[in-house]
Structure 1
Amino acid sequence: MFDTKKVEIEWGGQTLTLETGRVARQADGAVLATLGETVVLCAVTAARKVKEGQDFFPLTVHYQEKYASAGRIPGGFFKRERGATEKETLTSRLIDRPIRPLFPDGFYNEINVIAQVMSYDGENEPDILAMVAASAALTLSGVPFMGPIGAARVGYVDGEYVLNPTDEQVAAGDLDLVAAATHDAVMMVESEAKELSEEVMLGAVMFAHRESRKVIDAIIKLAEQAAKEPWDLPAQSDTAAMKDKLKKLVGKDITAAYKLTDKSERSNALNEARAKAKDAFADASPQDQMVAGKLVKKLEAEIVRGAILKDGRRIDGRSTTQIRPIEAVAGFLPRTHGSALFTRGETQSICTTTLGTKDSEQMIDGLTGLHYQHFMLHYNFPPYSVGEVGRFGAPGRREIGHGKLAWRALHPVLPTKDEFPYTIRVTSDITESNGSSSMATVCGGSLSLMDAGVPLKRPVSGIAMGLILEGKKFAVLSDILGDEDHLGDMDFKVAGTSEGVTSLQMDIKIAGITEEIMKQALAQAHDGRAHILGEMAKALDHSRTELSAHAPRIESLQIDKSKIREVIGTGGKVIREIVAETGAKVDIDDEGLIKISSSDPAQIEAAKNWILGIVEEPEVGKIYTGKVVNLVDFGAFVNFMGGKDGLVHVSEIRNERVEKVSDALSEGQEVKVKVLEVDQRGKVRLSMRVVDQETGAELEDTRPPREDRGPRGDRGPRRDGGDRDRGPRRDGGDRGPRRGGGGGRDRGPRRESNDRDDGPAPEFAPAFLSRDDD
């Protein structure tokens, strides 16, 4: 029934299987990719017709993680997969970026790529498998895809590169890098590193490329068995005459426009040239008008690229290695916990850092279950930042991707939670943009973190590199403008400290770049990052030693796990009372680690003392401050250490005799007491008379010791016991059965001492009192 085709290879110690022909047979191309017990299904469909007037390539990639693949039901109210999570969005971009440049110019048919995780083994990450499955499905579909591509994840553990590392290996190592490549060149890189050198990073990219070739060979073998016939593309019309006409009409105008260094002036001049070209083709067919618009853009690219390759002159007049002017301001906003304004040329970001407690952590519900993230970075790109009118609201895929890039750049230099027990949120609001706003976010974010007092290992800077490649001639551009990004062949972003690289991202718009070009780009980026770090240091070169007055303070306290229940109380009664009374927030984990937070140090101290009073044992001879909670005839009960009660006997209130306890003390009164004794049952005996109630200092005990009365004499037999002869009853009659015995007369149960009802007893009886005290 099924015409199934399958290819298997050994890859990174696992078996990689690519299968087609059994599932999703109505799609143009469908592949089941399996690695270990992780399975991803990718299906590709393509529209046979182009919508009228369409002048762009509508490629859409959707990656979805099915909770059932890991044996889970989604958390929350809705028990089905809903909108894309951050990870799904990022993985969709990861697939899109390397395949989009591999479609021919002028191909405008809509294509859908849908990758779904069907099984997840908890060891083999599905994102790499989804990239491989998408490449294979496109190769089989017959659409004009100039692939296939391969993909690989690389770790760096103990000085060795590791292919497709597990989560544990990534955490223990120094690198998490994903690369995609054709057989000849690298197309895309995404990474996070712990301050590695440029040589190590380049080695990781080349290692990923070599391993990707094995996957490419497997896809080609599958295509030889199951690929559909390639599409017939319409012949491209000869546009040479139209292009020559446009060059004569607006060529000089475009050249003059790109000599203007101000973005607004340059944009206005280009718009006038485009309008002039549009008017020249006002009477042409809609198709010719669309072609003319495309040719104008090609003409712009040729003029800009030619000037750079020929003269080394860029749009704004800089050399290929020159960085735009930088201005950095730390502490830009008065009420935030940390803030910075970072401006580089016409790109600007306001970054703020906010510190919170554990309950502010980001809860993430994924295939591996619930986990929490204590560092967040959110990037916002409002339309006014580029002088346009547009949608303003929830972040799109681009904003999520740029924010994650900056997150990866800063994450390696953050302190651990044990070192700095705060939840950290960095927000980057782009207020101007003309190239590399994500790298401005890295620089501004680093400054705002240091301004907030977050102890970073070192400051981090970032730079975006560009590329102009024509045949064998190329130029690498440092700190690219927006137009150089659009008209160039590469977007290569590098972030790091003075010690090494923390993040590297690369996107190529051509069929890939060589190792030689990457090596030069990394070296040029190193010099650029060093220059930017120097400019940032003029504003702030280290983390502030004090937190903002508006930031919460957090103090950690470790208690024995056996005491957790006492601190929380029945139904949380005790911990709620602590929070309500002190005003501090209290968090406690299963290991007994307590975090107390408040912007008021006095509240933290009060909550800390209360908790210590619950978990600590009173120390004999130590003086404490307490509060009278109950008065009784024989003394007063005093609460001290937050959760302990002790008795101050009437004889221990003052050195002189106290006739009535209420004459000396009142409920709610604060007193200073010394612990005299803790008996075997944990009952505490306290004294006030040996403590100065004003200063809390211990006083000398001037009361003479009690006399030893010696042993008591023999009182003889007890009245109701033993051999004592009490003689006959006076009336000589039978007394009947004893009260405690059986017989005819039932007097009820014997009134044993433990059955007597003498009214309510004190909270505990002072067992240590002598007869003289009764």
Structure 2
Amino acid sequence: MKSFVYQSEKYGYQLEFEVNNWAERSFISLLTKFKDSRIFTTLNFGSEIPDLDFLPLTVDYEEKFYAIGKIYGSRFIRREGAPSLNSILNARLVDRAIRPIFPPIFRKEIHIVNLVFSYDSSIDPGLLSLLSSSFALYLSGIPIISPLGAVQICFKDGEFFINQNIDDAEMKLIFSGTEEKINMIEFEGKEIEEGLFLKALEIGFKEIKDLVKFIKNIKPLFVEEVKIDSSLFEEGDKKLEEFLNKNAIDLEKKLFNLVEGDKTWQEVFDLIKGNEEFGDLKPYVINSLNRRYKKIFQKKVLETKKRPDGRGLKDIRPLFAQIDVFPRTHGSALFMRGLTHILSTVTLAEPGEELWLRDIEFEGTKRFIHHYNFPPFSTGEIKTNKKPSRREIGHGELVERALKNLIPPQENFPYTIRVVSEVLSSNGSTSMGSVCASSLALMSAGVPLKTHAAGISIGMAYDSNDNYELLTDIQGPEDFFGSMDFKIVGTEKGLTAIQLDVKIEGLNLKQIEESLERAKEARIYLLNFMKGIIEKPKEISVYAPKIEVLKIDPLKIGLIIGTGGRTINEIIAATNVKIDIQPDGTLYIIGNQNSNFELAKNWIKSIADAFNLGEIVKGKVIKIFPFGAILELAPNRTVLLHVSEIAEKKIENIEKEVKIGEELVVKIKNISEDGKIYVSLKDVRK
């Protein structure tokens, strides 16, 4: 067992990597410590799969309820179940960061598992899992580009917080990189200016560099480098060259001067897959073709400044949008950018329809929900529809983060909001199209957004730090063969969400700044287009529930409910509404066009506003019993005047003291927690 401790000189935190034999049959077994958080990471290899055009890497992130000292799950099971939303997002976070640092021809199966054994809310466990996974990968001996450092930055009230979780932060940023480049960004913000975002990157990048230097000093202590046999890949290169020459295939013509959506370039893959002459070398020939296409794409774009579909570097595909697509949905919008077509719908519901979440990081509700669906027909494929993939969940969450800080607070707009984005046709940038479609649909539904938000993907053709070009609004081949997918969302005022994924070592700060400038230019263009479709929220649909809000003294909640719920049920039955009462005294009155909201509100007010402890009030006698008289203090509000509270003396015959129809002046003597009012006549007569 060996421990390696990184001490941040500037920010004072301590990060410890403990290499152990807990999982002795795994290739790497590692415990990462930060304050009271503990992340246990394992890394294992499998066989080589050369015919894949992607790295067979699987990253899992598993939360353990015992990490926070809780027993969750169904009462009949009481154990962890399917991965939570946060588990899926954290697994993707790690995967997106470490995938670019592998050698391009590495095709061994790799499985990295991060288990949260102890959770301290002061730090993001996804960040620790990223650091732990990177360290494990570096120790494994795989010839990666470099180990990664990573940092979390929050911003609030003019101050940056490094590797600290801050509630209600104006900006939350997690990013990773090497000593030279930033290779993954995950950002959420409340319309943050580009300059402030870049400042956060600059601060965090210095910490990343120090961490990477620390890790590199550990390298000699561990296993030998994993060797990659490139001979079969070289043989595949030769076979591909022979095949192309024999069949007079010009790959450049297959890839460029295409109408958008033309998949001529894929024909060569199909030819090779159907050719049995390659024998066991076929997977390596396919791999070679993929790498060859990438080189052609980069070279051609850099030389001609033109893209496969003929667009210039800054050109955005043709736009089309329509709102109110369906008559019965509460809001809907169709947004088209080239062959990427997104249909978003909005459903408004009462506060009680919120999404309940429970994991080790959060337990509570979410009132704004976005779901993203990517069906097979969106790419013309024939597949069985399955449960949402990690990618669909991740894209849905990205759009949600991009818009949630533009949604009005519940006290101003009490609805639960669900947006669903259906990808009807896909040719790149579907998540960014979903942002635009969702923003339009929310306005269509009458949700008073602060403003529209729009998203754009910036790509790159890259040869070196001095020779590269940025591509605005990437599509199909540019996504497959380009060097990055930089998703940037914001308003006219600032940034709301960012996600960077690369296929190279990463970007320097200058390239990131240029990408932000390019994205802002495109975003303003998109926002102007969207405002031409709908600039202000419409009236809420007649098919949506109507909700009105009242505030009462929390001590009066029992009065509204009444004994056994009698009072509130009487109001509900008479006015055709639902009433949702919150502990702080907020009442949501929910109904439809046929509900009598005014009667319900006045009824509640007459109960809540009429009576206070110690108050002197008038009550009309409506019934008499041997044990007391029933007084009506207000419409539908009756109380018992007990016989013992009528006079100081003992009363033998109550009917001699009070009469039906008589008005009595009484004092509110007590109000119980369940809303019962106790009055006294004798206290007034003293």
Residue 505 of structure 1 corresponds to which residue in structure 2?
A: 499
Change (3 A) 1:329 1:642: farther
Alignment of 1:321 onto 2:314: yes
- 1:414-470 Cα offsets, whole Å, 9 max, x none, are 211122111111110111110100011100111111111111111111100100101
What residue in structure 2 maps to residue 216 of structure 1?
212
| Alpha-carbon distance in 2 for matches of 1:580, 1:441 | 42
Residue 376 of structure 2: aligned partner: 383
The answer to whether the Cα contact below 8 Å between 2:620 and 2:663 also exists between their aligned partners in 1 is no
Counterpart of 1:303 (choices 292, 296, 320) is: 296
Amino acid at match of 1:183: E
Distance 1:136 1:71 in 2: 28
Q: Distance in 1 between matches of 2:329 and 2:430?
A: 22
1:477 positional shift = 0.1
Select the structure with the greater relative contact order (CA < 8 A; seq sep ≥ 6).
2
CA contact (8 A) 1:338 1:448 kept: yes
- Deviation of 1:757 after TM superposition, in Å, equals 9.7
In structure 1, distance between residues paired with 2:521 and 2:562: 59
Aligned ranges for residues 342-421 of structure 1 at < 5 Å? 342-368=335-361, 370-421=363-414
Q: Does 1:330 align with 2:323?
A: yes
Q: Which moved more, 1:582-591 or 1:90-99?
A: 582-591
2:34 and 2:353 mapped to 1: Cα distance? Answer: 36
Q: 1:56 to 1:525 in 2, by over 3 A?
A: closer
Contact 1:7 1:221 in 2 (8 A): no
Structure 2 partner of 1:185:
181
Give the letter aligned to residue 57 of structure 1: L
In structure 1, what is the Cα distance between the partners aligned to 2:95 and 2:639? 71
Deviations 1:178-215 (A, max 9, x none): 10111221110011111122222222223222212232
- CA distance, structure 2, for counterparts of residue 148 and residue 342 of structure 1: 41
Structure 1 vs Structure 2: percent identity of aligned residues? 32
Q: How many angstroms does 1:642 deviate by? A: 4.8
Q: 428-437 vs 240-249, which deviates more?
A: 240-249
Mapped partners of 1:85, 1:209: distance in 2: 30
Contact 2:621 2:659 in 1 (8 A): no
- The aligned counterpart of 1:66 is 64
The equivalent of 2:223 in structure 1 is 228
- Kindly state the Cα deviation for residue 235 of structure 1 after the two structures are TM-superposed: 3.8
Aligned to 1:622: none
Aligned-pair distance for 1:37?
Answer: 1.1
Partner of 2:20: 21
Instruction: State the Cα distance separating 1:162 from its structure 2 match.
Output: 2.0
Letter in 2 for 1:132: L
For the residues of structure 2 that align with 1:316 and 1:460, how far apart are their CA atoms? 27
The answer as to whether partners of 2:73 and 2:80 remain within 8 angstroms in 1 is no
Which of the two has higher C-alpha Rg?
1
Matched ranges for 1:82-93 at <5 A: 82-93=81-92
State which of 245, 248, 266 in structure 1 corresponds to 2:242. 245
2:591 is aligned, of 576, 598, 602, to 598
Q: Following the alignment from structure 1 to structure 2, what is the Cα–Cα distance between the partners of residues 515 and 251?
A: 43
The 1-side partners of 2:665 and 2:508 are apart by 89
Q: Secondary structure at the match of 2:7?
A: strand
Question: Compared with structure 1, are the counterparts of its residues 473 and 682 closer, same or farther at alpha carbon in structure 2 (3 Å cutoff)?
Answer: farther
- Residue 523 of structure 1 is aligned with which of 514, 517, 525? 517
How many Å separate the matches in 2 of 1:257 and 1:628?
A: 94
Q: CA deviation at 1:495?
A: 0.8
Provide, for residues 58-116 of structure 1, a one-character-per-residue CA deviation record: whole Å limited to 9, x for no partner: 21111111111111111433311111111100000000001112121232221111111
| Contact 1:492-1:505 at 8 Å conserved across structures | yes
Which TM-score applies when normalising by structure 2? 0.88
> Which residue number corresponds to residue 134 of structure 2?
135
Q: Which runs of 5+ in 2 are unaligned?
A: 613-618, 667-686
Query: Of 149, 173, 190, which residue of structure 2 is paired with 1:194?
Result: 190
Distance (whole Å) between structure 1 residues aligned to residue 230 and residue 639 of structure 2: 97
Aligned partner letter, 2:428: G
Q: What number of residue pairs does the alignment pair up?
A: 649
Report the equivalent of 1:486: 480
SS in 1 for 2:533: coil
Q: Describe the SS at the equivalent of 1:455.
A: coil
Q: Is the 8 A contact 1:70 1:122 kept in 2?
A: no
Q: Secondary structure at the match of 2:405?
A: helix
For residues 401-420 of structure 1, the C-alpha deviation after alignment (integer angstroms, 9 at most, x for no partner) is: 11111111111212111221
RMSD value, Cα: 3.2
State whether residues 351 and 448 of structure 1, in contact with CA within 8 Å, keep that contact through their aligned partners in structure 2.
yes
Verify the 8 A CA contact 1:75 1:365 in the aligned structure 2: no
CA 1:754–1:275: 2 relative to 1, 3 Å: closer
Matches within 5 A, 1:639-718: 641-645=634-638
What is the CA–CA distance in structure 2 between the aligned matches of 1:447 and 1:640, rounded to whole Å? 51
* In structure 1, distance between residues paired with 2:516 and 2:429: 16
Superposed displacement of residue 252, structure 1? 4.5
Q: CA deviation at 1:567?
A: 1.6
Deviation at 1:767, TM superposition (A): 5.5
Match of 1:95 in 2: 94
Do the aligned partners of residues 617 and 164 (structure 1) sit closer, same or farther apart at CA in structure 2, a change above 3 Å counting?
Answer: same
Q: Describe the shift of the 1:275–1:52 C-alpha distance in structure 2 as closer, same or farther (beyond 3 A).
A: closer
Residues 557-610 of structure 1: CA deviation (Å, up to 9, x unaligned)? 111121111222344443344334432121111111111111237432232223
